[in-house]
Chain A
Amino acid sequence: MLRTKLASNSRSFLQRIHCDGALLLGLLVLMTVGLVTIYSAGGQDVGLIQRQFTRLALALGVMLVVAQIPPMAYQKLSVYFYVIGIAMLIAVLVIGVSSKGAQRWLDLGAFRFQPSEIMKLAVPMMVAWYISRFNLPPKTWHILIGFTLVALPTLLIARQPDLGTSLLIACSGVFALFLAGMSWRFISFVAIAASAFTPIMWIFLMKDYQKQRVLTFLNPESDPLGSGYHIIQSQIAIGSGGAQGKGWLQGTQSQLEFLPERHTDFIFAVFSEEFGFWGVVALLAIYAFIVIRGMLIAVKAQNAFSKILAGSITLTFFVYVFVNMGMVSGILPVVGVPLPLVSYGGTSMVTLLAGFGILMAISTQKRIMSRE
């Protein structure tokens, strides 16, 4: 009696704040795993945990705010977002602030800001808006325009240079086109074109340090103390964790600081070392749960724009997970992608949760269908 009442109350509360319960649960579990692992990886630094906690709270706040905005509004704002984003990317290349050989920031007086973060959401929104104006599946002509919409920010970000982000943004746009029903013939054409584009990219677009990353990835042992050090130490950490793991705070690779970037990009290695293979299976299950929930929201979404946007955000989220785990365990080259919601810090956390805010808005704010 009491239980049903509570349940209905809580559901109604979550609904009132436009929050998807299942999704929220998954995110909170991940964040908890993150805090626990950061505590171990960061040398049991409570200050680190406090800062991360604050950041998570802020990001959750942003998520809730975003969730209150009706999906229709996003649809209407897509074009402005996109145009402003592109303008800022051009501004970055002209008047941006450099750091570590890359020009990625806009100095807004009070804080620095990466316009590429906006594009992580603006690109799928723009593509979803454009493609959903037509009957689906889209015509080749529309697909080509869609690709142009994706290519423009991708190339601008690649020029900064920030190859990792540009590829992930390209992914989010391409996912939108794929979900919209891009024909298989076109998909195979794109695949062929992409593989043809690879050598061109290698020769003309990639900087030396980027090439070095790829070469190191192909053979990390060639420079075990230099550029290969990260990946070798990371694999040792993961492998020595075994099935059961060494136990929380017991990872020798992380506690004795052999592992670089322990609490940020390489936190997955710390997790694998301390919690073992079965821990990793559990962690992947949580991610899988979030992805499946996100796709379900997409399928149940009211219109094509929402469906495409929700699906793209979810798949892109998974790509982050895959790229991070892949690079840490040595099946992908090292690109600076954090493990979503687990790695310490980052403005990307806010963008990420803003994305989930949109998912929640799509999930919880449905108009009663009108025959129009």
Chain B
Amino acid sequence: MPSPRILIKDHSAEANLFARRTFIGLLVVFVMVSMVLSNLYYLQISRFEDYQTRADGNRIKVLPVAPNRGLIYDRNGILLAENRPVFSLQVIPEDIENLELTIKELSTLLEIDEEDVGDFYQDLKGNRRFKPVDLINRLTPKEVALFSAKQHKYPGVSVEARLARYYPYSNALTHVIGYVAKINKKDLQKLSEAGFEANYAATYDIGKRGIEKYHEEKLHGKVGFQEVEVNNQGRIIRILNFNPPAPGQDIVLNIDMNLQLEAEKAFAGKKGTVVAIDPKDGGVLALYSSPSYDPNLFVHGISSKNYKKLLTSDRPLFNRATQGQYPPASTIKPLLALAGLEEKVITPESRINDFGKYQLKNVERIWRDHNPWGHGWVDVTKAIEVSCDIFFYDMAYKLGIDRISESMSEFGFGDYTGIDLHEEADGIMPSRGIVKARFNRPWYIGDTINIGIGQSYWTATPVQLTQAIVTLVNKGKRIIPQIIRGNMQKDTVILEAIKERRPIAIKDEHNWDIVLDAMYGTVNRKGSARKAFKGAHYISAGKTGTAQLVTIAQDEKYDAEKLSKKNRDNAMYVGYAPYDNPQIAVTVVLENAGHGGAEAAPIARKMMDNYFRDQTFPEHKVIEYLGQDLESTEITQVESQP
């Protein structure tokens, strides 16, 4: 490089200066290395465990594994709810070159409708490309076979099996078992509120109605876990650990499937319900509500077309046995009689003369007996046997609403029975307070008189009525009806404890016998259910009822033909058998059918016949009337006018 000036350089001074600067430079390098190292020491040594946890958190995912739902059996070991594999056609997007073409080809082989394809593309959005998406939710076994034969042509398409609920008895048990269906947002919210969210992490279905809902906790089981290593895309690289789920408990119901099927048969084409309970343990032997529906429709999501079919005026979704609130009508006369005897408003001997009409002093209104000519002289026994209305109008008037309400509440009216179904109504046991609160109406004396024949505001569910009969049969011991019998564990049933309420205390134990004898008379002497039970191989007792749904004007006659079917009387029957050692108590309600003795009692007969199909009973001679001769009894004056 040519330079205009000759530079005289002091080389040793420059070298010294440079060496100093180099040393300082190295010093700075040393400081920077220390900075890097101290930071790495902090990350790798001081906070090692922290970062190790975070690294594991990145790579280890815990995947829940759903437990198998417990099975449901009847009392004789018949399978009522099972888990069956259902097949779905799944597609792994990343393994398929041309999705549209593949779907087109598949639709020539299998049935794929536009809704399936629409849902598929919807699910595809936001899905990881290696995660399978359902194309068809339910494949028929034939379709599975068809596809399996040609699977090699479709890489990335596979058939996946999962267990889903199946109810082999479909319509027959719907209102008992209910059904499971896909967990929805509302269910999720409830689960998270109860703290069960984690346990349901992999579960597909949840109990929506009936036993499936009530005993969900038992049936569900405990979730299992699979510990897997994943990459940043969430793809599973390998399984590290497996913690198997604990399956749900298999449960046994008190239901006798044979009896239940008898109920279904008896109600074919009819509207109504039957409840049968074993008075010894409160076990529900049968519970059928007609019309019914197929719960299997709901398991895989019911189509709106099918659902609309269920929203008819016949209300198949409605559980008449536990939610139907019917006027109990004459079926509660034995219970009212017991209250009358207890309160000494009547005695076993007191009687009235029934001319067919009943009227209070200074009240214009006339109450009529269902028999326009009356029953003549009746005591309490005959009043129950022939279902005399005048006797009970009078007795109710004398008891007054307060005492009736109190004693009937003791039998469980106006309150939930506590049966293991969430679908239960409480009915109304009217009192002055309740009528004021619910209807904003004062209590009239006429209401009390109507209460005497189980009408007015009084409503009860069939399961409430059955429970009351069970209490009566057990002479005050109150057992809560239960559908579940116990848990199945290795072929033995661990029985569920019998649940009881505080028993009804009574002043004169003899009063039970008077009432029960009258119910015996209803069936076996000249009572209203005599015809229905003629020739039965067992001895039963019961009470008929005919619930009026419309008020008949004073001078009008009830004419079934004239009334529209909807407003025709409900036929009712409560009964139990055998009389001396009750094994079954039955309530039958037949909507808009007419007279209880003629319409409802025969169904109760069928139920009992079925239940005692394998039992024989000794010859029985009818116990004659316990009451005294008409002549020797004192006469109670009745304020009734001819």
Q: Report A's interface with B, CB cutoff 8 A.
A: 75-76, 133-137, 175, 178-181, 233, 235-243, 252-253, 256-258, 272, 276-277, 280-281, 284, 288, 291-292, 295, 298-299, 304, 307-308, 311, 315, 318, 322, 325-326, 329-331
Q: Is the CB of A329 within 8 A of B40?
A: yes
Q: How far is the CB of A298 from chain B (nearest CB, A)?
A: 6
Q: How far is the CB of A160 from chain B (nearest CB, A)?
A: 27
Q: Of the listed stretches B24-32, B150-158, B314-322, name the one at the interface; the rest are far from the partner chain.
A: B24-32
Q: Is the CB of A240 within 8 A of B37?
A: no
Q: Is the CB of A241 within 8 A of B44?
A: yes
Inter-chain pairs besides A240-B56, A256-B229, A277-B40, 19 sampled, C-beta below 8 Å? A136-B13, A136-B17, A238-B40, A238-B44, A239-B47, A242-B48, A243-B44, A243-B48, A252-B229, A253-B59, A257-B231, A258-B231, A280-B37, A280-B40, A284-B37, A295-B26, A299-B18, A311-B18, A329-B39
**Given A256-B237, A258-B58, A238 and B51 touching (CB < 8 A)?**
yes
Q: Mark B88-109, 1 if CB is under 8 A from A, else 0.
A: 0000000000000000000000
A276 to B40, CA, bound (A): 9
Q: Of the listed stretches B2-10, B276-284, B299-307, name the one at the interface; the rest are far from the partner chain.
A: B2-10
In the complex, which residues of chain B have a beta carbon less than 8 angstroms from the beta carbon of A318? 29, 32
In the complex, which residues of chain B have a beta carbon less than 8 angstroms from the beta carbon of A76? 1
**Given A179-B22, A243-B44, A311-B22, A256 and B17 touching (CB < 8 A)?**
no
In the complex, which residues of chain A have a beta carbon less than 8 angstroms from the beta carbon of B18? 136, 179-181, 298-299, 304, 307-308, 311
**B55 CB contact (under 8 Å) in A135, A253, A257:** A253
**Given A240-B51, A329-B36, A277 and B44 touching (CB < 8 A)?**
yes
Closest A residue to B9 using CB positions: A135
- Chain B interface SS verdict (over half): helix
In the complex, which residues of chain A have a beta carbon less than 8 angstroms from the beta carbon of B616? none
In the complex, which residues of chain A have a beta carbon less than 8 angstroms from the beta carbon of B554? none
Q: How far is the CB of A81 from chain B (nearest CB, A)?
A: 14
A21 to B586, CA, bound (A): 106
Q: Is the CB of B22 within 8 A of A298?
A: yes
Whether a CB of chain A sits under 8 angstroms from the CB of B440 is no
Q: How far is the CB of B264 from chain A (nearest CB, A)?
A: 58
Q: How far is the CB of B47 from chain A (nearest CB, A)?
A: 6
**A256 CB contact (under 8 Å) in B15, B19, B58:** B58
A299 to B17, CA, bound (A): 10
A265 to B565, CA, bound (A): 85
Closest A residue to B19 using CB positions: A299
A277 to B447, CA, bound (A): 92
4 shortest interchain CB distances as A-B pairs? A239-B51, A240-B55, A256-B231, A277-B44
**Given A307-B18, A311-B22, A133 and B48 touching (CB < 8 A)?**
no
Q: Is the CB of B58 within 8 A of A252?
A: yes
Q: Is the CB of A135 within 8 A of B25?
A: no
Q: Is the CB of B231 within 8 A of A315?
A: no
In the complex, which residues of chain B have a beta carbon less than 8 angstroms from the beta carbon of A258? 55, 58-59, 231-232
A-B contacts at CB below 8 angstroms, number: 144
**A322 CB contact (under 8 Å) in B14, B32, B44, B54:** B32
Whether a CB of chain A sits under 8 angstroms from the CB of B41 is yes
In the complex, which residues of chain B have a beta carbon less than 8 angstroms from the beta carbon of A308? 18
**Given A133-B7, A299-B22, A330 and B39 touching (CB < 8 A)?**
yes
Whether a CB of chain A sits under 8 angstroms from the CB of B191 is no
Whether a CB of chain A sits under 8 angstroms from the CB of B35 is yes
Closest B residue to A319 using CB positions: B32
Q: Is the CB of A175 within 8 A of B25?
A: yes
Chain B contributes a number of interface residues (CB within 8 A of A) equal to: 43
Most chain A beta-carbon contacts within 10 A, residue among B14, B19, B55? B55
Whether a CB of chain A sits under 8 angstroms from the CB of B63 is no
Whether a CB of chain A sits under 8 angstroms from the CB of B128 is no
Q: Report B's interface with A, CB cutoff 8 A.
A: 1, 3, 7, 9-10, 13-15, 17-19, 21-22, 25-26, 29, 32-33, 35-37, 39-41, 43-45, 47-48, 50-52, 54-56, 58-59, 229-233, 237
In the complex, which residues of chain B have a beta carbon less than 8 angstroms from the beta carbon of A235? 43, 51
**Given A280-B37, A311-B22, A242 and B44 touching (CB < 8 A)?**
yes
A311 to B22, CA, bound (A): 7
Closest A residue to B21 using CB positions: A179
Q: Is the CB of A133 within 8 A of B3?
A: yes
Closest A residue to B3 using CB positions: A133
In the complex, which residues of chain A have a beta carbon less than 8 angstroms from the beta carbon of B10? 135
Closest B residue to A325 using CB positions: B36
**Given A181-B17, A307-B18, A318-B32, A252 and B59 touching (CB < 8 A)?**
yes
Closest B residue to A310 using CB positions: B22
In the complex, which residues of chain A have a beta carbon less than 8 angstroms from the beta carbon of B40? 238, 272, 277, 280, 329
**B37 CB contact (under 8 Å) in A252, A257, A281:** A281
**B51 CB contact (under 8 Å) in A137, A236, A243, A299:** A236
Q: Is the CB of A331 within 8 A of B33?
A: no
A188 to B322, CA, bound (A): 92
Closest B residue to A301 using CB positions: B18
In the complex, which residues of chain B have a beta carbon less than 8 angstroms from the beta carbon of A272? 40, 43-44
In the complex, which residues of chain A have a beta carbon less than 8 angstroms from the beta carbon of B237? 256
Q: Is the CB of A284 within 8 A of B36?
A: yes
Q: Is the CB of B21 within 8 A of A181?
A: yes
A140 to B165, CA, bound (A): 90
Q: How far is the CB of A70 from chain B (nearest CB, A)?
A: 14
Closest B residue to A291 using CB positions: B29
Closest A residue to B51 using CB positions: A239
Q: Is the CB of A238 within 8 A of B43?
A: yes
A299 to B16, CA, bound (A): 9
Q: Is the CB of A239 within 8 A of B48?
A: yes
Q: Is the CB of B36 within 8 A of A326?
A: yes
In the complex, which residues of chain A have a beta carbon less than 8 angstroms from the beta carbon of B48? 239-240, 242-243
A257 to B36, CA, bound (A): 25
A315 to B344, CA, bound (A): 115
A181 to B21, CA, bound (A): 7
Can you list 10 pairs linking A and B with CB atoms under 8 Å apart? A135-B9, A236-B55, A238-B51, A239-B48, A239-B52, A252-B55, A280-B44, A299-B18, A304-B18, A307-B15
